[in-house]
Chains A and B, each alone.
Chain A
């Protein structure tokens, strides 16, 4: 069995360092918060204007004035702070956030990322993704290795419109963890029971093995 979602999230959480300020994208990246080791203190940024995002509220704590960037209700912590959107993205664009974890439609071996539009389909918008990948110190992508139609999402070059060029540092999929360096996909760790042959069969990008 390759990695399950929980394994992928746990592995992503393992990339977080004590004292990091981190922005988690919508969907699977949000779940990474549940796997942060107890001895690692991480401050979560929500780009709609909050540092120190707490867990989801209890039913009687729901506050319509307190949501995350996925528009879900959340809570505040002792160390939380609030600010406006321009300040929030100054923080992001200015390189003050240590890591951004987000999903992807395609990643290329040169670090190009596509995750906001499919031509011909209704485009919902990029939200804060373009700002995050351009400004945050390190971008980690958490995604499934192949698309629903079976095609590889780890490519020599992205075919979809880009969110950012040369921005991705690390990719975690059910098949393993990879770093993008020197225009190659470097294998750091393979998923449980995953062979290099299986990885090669499901990867269009050039693979480098340490």
Chain B
């Protein structure tokens, strides 16, 4: 893989994912609900027909948008998520035993990804102590408090949505669309990013980068993001 600055820019989702997809792989996906999801890459993965996927993502989209599209085509074998409540296809496949599911508390999921990208194989947390989440996991006492051990998460591929990238792969996110994207970006063997704007290196103040380009292997500008909103709520 050519990680040199300037060689990271690809034309579209299909070319950016070329050679990276294989059956049975683990994909880490950024986003929270439908906010900040790599919608172009999800469509390209669907079109590729790759199957038996383990997908790590806080949520699993809705029936007809986001990761839900990969459920429709039964490309997902297992989800690791914190909340999957918005998706009937998910519920049906899960209840029929066609889909495996591992629930992680949201902060534990985020930290497992962060640890995966930071070379930390496991960590101890109070989250889940005394609940079924702690069953079968090592527990330890520190300063009189009980903690449970959680292991790092890594993947074959990270798919990320950012607002803006420069040609060196430095990223800027926008508002709450940042969410899981930075930790996801760090924890995959390869990281592909879709953005709304690509600028030349030097056009973003180095003090204003949210994620340094070292984590980014390939980047492309998506056209016409749909950015669907789950619950439009207004005060007027």
Contact = CB atoms under 8 A, between A and B. Distances in A.
A86 B113 contact: yes
Contacts of B95: 122
A127 B233 contact: no
Contacts of A55: 235
A73 B235 CA distance: 10
Interface in A109-154: 112, 122-131, 134-135
Interface string A7-43: 0000000000000000000000000000000000000
Contacts, number: 179
Q: Which 4 A-B pairs have the closest CB atoms?
A: A165-B130, A89-B107, A124-B85, A131-B107
Given A122-B95, A124-B85, A58 B236 contact: yes
Contacts of B35: 48, 64-65, 67, 71
A127 B106 contact: yes
B114 interface: yes
B137 to A, nearest CB: 13
Nearest to B92: A122
Contacts of B163: 65
B32 interface: yes
Interface residues of B, number: 57
19 contacts: A56-B234, A58-B234, A62-B229, A63-B175, A64-B177, A65-B174, A74-B233, A82-B173, A84-B179, A86-B114, A89-B110, A122-B91, A123-B103, A124-B84, A125-B81, A126-B103, A134-B126, A134-B127, A165-B131
Interface string A155-177: 00000011111100000000000
B197 to A, nearest CB: 13
Given A65-B163, A130-B108, 9 more contacts: A50-B175, A64-B227, A67-B230, A68-B176, A73-B233, A74-B233, A123-B103, A126-B82, A128-B105
B228 interface: yes
Contacts of B94: 122
Nearest to A64: B227
A46 interface: yes
A88 B229 CA distance: 22
Contacts of A59: 234, 236
Given A48-B179, A125-B81, A85 B32 contact: yes
